[in-house]
Amino acid sequence: ERRTGLAAAVAAGVWRTDPAPEEVQIGGVRCLRFSPSGASRGTLLHMHGGAFRIGCPEQIAPLAASLAQACKVTVICPAYRLAPEYPFPAGLNDGWAVLRALAETMPRALILSGDSAGGGLAASIAALAHQAGIPLAGLALLSPWVDLSVIDPAYTTNAATDPLFSAEAAQEAAALYLQGHMPSDPLASPLLGELSGYPPTYLNAGMGEVLAGDARRLRDRLEQAGVPVTFHEVDGMEHVAVTR
Known catalytic residues are: 116, 209, 239
111: phi then psi, degrees, rounded to nearest 5: -120, 145
Q: What amino acid occupies position 237?
A: M
- C-beta separation of 154 from 173 below 8 A: no
β-strand pairing of 74-78 with 42-47: parallel
